[in-house]
Amino acid sequence: MRRSYLFALPLVATLSACDNSPKLEEGSNAQGHTAPTAVTVKANQAVIAKRPFSNQADFEDAKRGLIAQDPSLLTKDQNGSTVWNMPSYDFIKYQGATGDAPASVNPSLWRQEALNNMHGLYKVKDGIYQLRGYDLANMSIIEGDKGWILVDPLTAKETAHKALKFAQKHLGTKPITAVIYTHSHIDHFGGIEGILANMSEQEQKDLRIIAPEGFMEEATSENIIAGMAMGRRASFMYGRSLAHNDRGHVGTGLGKGPAFGRFALLQPTELVGETGKTLNIDGVPFEFQYVPGSEAPAEFTFYLPEHKAYCGAEMLSRNMHNLYTLRGAKVRDANIWSGYIIEARDMFADSDTYFASHHWPMWGTDNIQEFLTQQSDTYKYIHDQSVRLFNAGNTPNEVAEQVNLPAGLNTAFHNQGYYGTVKHNAKAVYQNYLGWYTANPAKLDPLPETQAAKRYMEMMGGVETVIAKAQTAFDDASQGDVEEGIKTYRWIAELLNHAVFAEPDNGQAKALLAKVYDQLGYQAESAPWRDVYLSGAYELRHGAPEEGISVAIMEGVLLKTPVQNFFESMAVRLNGPKAQGKKLDVKITFTDLNESYLLSLNNSVLRHKKVDKNTQADATLNLTQPLFVNIIIGEAGIKDTLFGDDLSVEGSKLDLISFFSLLDQPRGAFNIVTP
């Protein structure tokens, strides 16, 4: 199959790492991850004293209302490939004791992932149900007068279909009268085809789909420009190459992990773009809160006054969320986010039930009010203290090291950094206001990593000398004081990273750095931090992926994506040096849309604009949007297609081939832990 990598989505990175079959260290597991050191064991044991593990309220809430569950919850696609595998997490056992976490997993994260393991069909209260553990997100069901209103139809066609069938088995089959997309991330809309599968054509035409204003633009555009890099980085954040075991991936904190199936997008029939907007949906009154720029650029929450139930979408969750996500994205404004939560607390003050797009519900007005206050105060505290510190001249690293939540915010489990963390969120606040430059002249124009690494190693006596000193430091730290040991691991990671970038084929340097990453991963309370460290260790031992990102599974979303977005993608793939001195106008006409666009190359810059179909160009390409998408996802090769019968060309085909040859074809499998 010919690949054309114009588009990629971080959540659906389908990367397979190559395996060089290295000799594994004695005591390591099948992927090479080494045993926890004495310092790691002590560090994880120390967490038990920092958190109220005796409080079992979360487990009571997570179990409450269980109607039925499928203990062998395995979802496959039409080809037999696994899309979702809950039994792969059965190794996580939690009996409510503080000492049952393995030494290779932070006990607080172990507890969170035991909660995330709890899956099935739940009754939230009369008229409201949830399917949890069928995907990364939840799908909620609200009973209307004529049928069901579905909230967030999951990530993939396969998982959504299976979840709906399970609900119908235990609740009876009712028509789907409306679907609500709470926000513009794919785990909340991508499974829509699984819902449509058993609906008649008329039922589909009558279906109300309600989403926040700006939804379509955000749902289709977030990853067009930077999707390839985001996808590769997401493979680290979600531990895509890691085995599911106590020295590998245990979950994401927000849920278990992304589902890898077929994705689609159905355009909303109604948009909500203001707070206070009310709708009657199948006889159920809804009151909306519009919260763009909180967890997603297009998002709303809603309140059900007849049920006294508040749906917090993903503005709220049972963990600290990301102000900056490690896969890479624009930072979120903590101050705005905090304000939205306080607004919700005050607007819906009589709510006695809370449910959301992730995790488990909460009951009791006082509990909900306290939860909202603490979540809001957490983001506000990180914002205010980070600003205070950088205004005093502290750098991002110094800010991150000094911001610690006060006791009043640091005891509740729902405020812990299972997904976002105080440290990288504090840096996000710095980035939001001040950007990448710390004002230190040494940081203004530093050497690239590989060049700097070689000079560091030369000045420090060579790579072999550095490895020997790092090994001694690692051995000493592994048996010493916990706090100093952790700091030493962090320092050795930085030191050995220079060694690996100076000599990427040095097996000793990579092996020792991988061991350090193992320990940092085992200690992490954040699931993404754990996956990032352990993915780094995995690739140091086994190599980077050989294959890039497959986007064929995104066809259903891409067909709904405005074609202008793809031209933006083409512009950022233009190889400027290769295009130097070339001037070319290419027109693309979509025969099914009756639209034409002129792509103009000049000064090594590619621009586009919508034009009349009679506009002159050096070459014109006439094709349908579906064929254009097939070229994008690699189902059709551009050269063969140009000389085929599925499109027509006016002007020079050689000019068209020359034009497309100037566009880079990124593999999406670039190195991260090696140069």
Report the pLDDT value the prediction gives residue 425, as an integer from 0 to 100.
98
d(CA 111, CA 64) in angstroms, rounded, equals: 17
- With beta carbons less than 8 A apart as the criterion, state whether 591 and 624 touch: yes
Q: Using H for helix, E for strand and C for coil, what is the string for 342-375? A: HHHHHHCCCCCEEECCCCCCEECHHHHHHHHHHH
d(CA 164, CA 180) in angstroms, rounded, equals: 15
Report the pLDDT value the prediction gives residue 96, as an integer from 0 to 100.
72
- Answer whether residue 343 shows pLDDT above 80: yes
- Answer whether residue 22 shows pLDDT above 90: no
Report the pLDDT value the prediction gives residue 7, as an integer from 0 to 100.
38
Report the pLDDT value the prediction gives residue 665, as an integer from 0 to 100.
80
Q: What's phi and psi for 149, nearest 5 deg?
A: -105, 120
Q: Using H for helix, E for strand and C for coil, what is the string for 630-655? A: HHHCCCCCHHHHHCCCCCEEEECHHH
**Least confident piece of the model among 11-15, 585-589, 602-606:** 11-15
- Answer whether residue 503 shows pLDDT above 60: yes
560: DSSP letter: T
d(CA 208, CA 272) in angstroms, rounded, equals: 13
- Answer whether residue 288 shows pLDDT above 80: yes
Report the pLDDT value the prediction gives residue 138, as an integer from 0 to 100.
98
Cα–Cα nearest to 179, from 270, 312, 295, 255:
270
Report the pLDDT value the prediction gives residue 18, as an integer from 0 to 100.
41
- Answer whether residue 10 shows pLDDT above 50: no
Cα–Cα nearest to 79, from 240, 261, 258, 241:
261
Report the pLDDT value the prediction gives residue 89, as an integer from 0 to 100.
98
Report the pLDDT value the prediction gives residue 430, as an integer from 0 to 100.
98
d(CA 574, CA 631) in angstroms, rounded, equals: 17
598, β-bridge pairs: 587, 609
Cα–Cα nearest to 276, from 295, 289, 257:
289
Report the pLDDT value the prediction gives residue 198, as an integer from 0 to 100.
84
- With beta carbons less than 8 A apart as the criterion, state whether 666 and 545 touch: no
- With beta carbons less than 8 A apart as the criterion, state whether 335 and 321 touch: no
- Answer whether residue 35 shows pLDDT above 60: yes
Q: Which is more confident, 620 or 552?
A: 620
- Answer whether residue 672 shows pLDDT above 60: yes
d(CA 534, CA 537) in angstroms, rounded, equals: 5
- The per-residue DSSP string of 250-267 comes to ---SSSS----S--B---
- What are 637-669's pLDDT values in tens digits? 666 676 666 788 999 888 888 998 999 887 778
Q: Share the mean pLDDT of the chain.
A: 92
- Please give the structure tokens belonging to residue 77: 């696609």
Report the pLDDT value the prediction gives residue 639, as an integer from 0 to 100.
64
- What are 234-267's pLDDT values in tens digits? 999 999 999 999 999 999 999 999 998 999 999 9
Cα 131 from chain centroid (whole Å) = 21
- Please give the structure tokens belonging to residue 414: 């729902």
- The per-residue DSSP string of 402-466 comes to H----HHHHSSGGGS-SSS-HHHHHHHHHHHHH-S--S-GGGTSPPPHHHHHHHHHHHTT-HHHH
Give the chain's radius of gyration (CA, Å): 26
- Answer whether residue 144 shows pLDDT above 50: yes
- The per-residue DSSP string of 95-155 comes to -S-TT-S-TTS-HHHHHHHHHHT--EEEEEETTEEEEESSSSS-EEEEE-SSSEEEE---S
d(CA 226, CA 214) in angstroms, rounded, equals: 19
Mean pLDDT of 199-213: 96
By CB atoms closer than 10 A (0-12, 13-18, 19+), residue 369 is middle
Residue listed under structure tokens 């958190």: 51
Cα–Cα nearest to 422, from 320, 314, 528:
320
- What are 399-447's pLDDT values in tens digits? 999 999 999 999 899 999 999 999 999 999 999 999 999 999 999 999 9
Model pTM greater than 0.75? Answer: yes
Report the pLDDT value the prediction gives residue 560, as an integer from 0 to 100.
80
d(CA 596, CA 594) in angstroms, rounded, equals: 7
- What are 39-90's pLDDT values in tens digits? 999 999 999 988 889 889 999 999 999 999 999 999 999 999 999 999 999 9
CA-CA distances (angstroms) from residue 4 to 555, 588, 631?
13, 18, 7
Confidence of residue 26 (pLDDT cuts 50, 70, 90): confident
595, β-bridge pairs: 590
d(CA 527, CA 92) in angstroms, rounded, equals: 14
Report the pLDDT value the prediction gives residue 548, as an integer from 0 to 100.
66
Report the pLDDT value the prediction gives residue 671, as an integer from 0 to 100.
95
Cα–Cα nearest to 360, from 511, 495, 432, 255:
255
| Cα dihedral 488, 494, 499, 500 sign | positive
- Answer whether residue 535 shows pLDDT above 50: yes
Residues 6+ apart with CB under 8 A from 571: 605, 606, 607, 608
- Answer whether residue 370 shows pLDDT above 90: yes
Domains of the chain (ranges, CATH numbers): 37-433 (3.60.15.30), 442-542 (1.25.40.880), 563-661 (3.30.1050.10)
d(CA 643, CA 98) in angstroms, rounded, equals: 67
- Answer whether residue 190 shows pLDDT above 60: yes
Report the pLDDT value the prediction gives residue 220, as an integer from 0 to 100.
84
Residues 6+ apart with CB under 8 A from 346: none
Mean pLDDT of 111-120: 97
* Helix, strand or coil, per DSSP, at residue 393: coil
d(CA 348, CA 356) in angstroms, rounded, equals: 15
Residue 325 CB coordination number (10 Å)? 22
Cα–Cα nearest to 394, from 440, 428, 325:
440
Ranked by mean pLDDT, which of 17-31, 224-238, 256-270, 451-465 comes out on top? 451-465
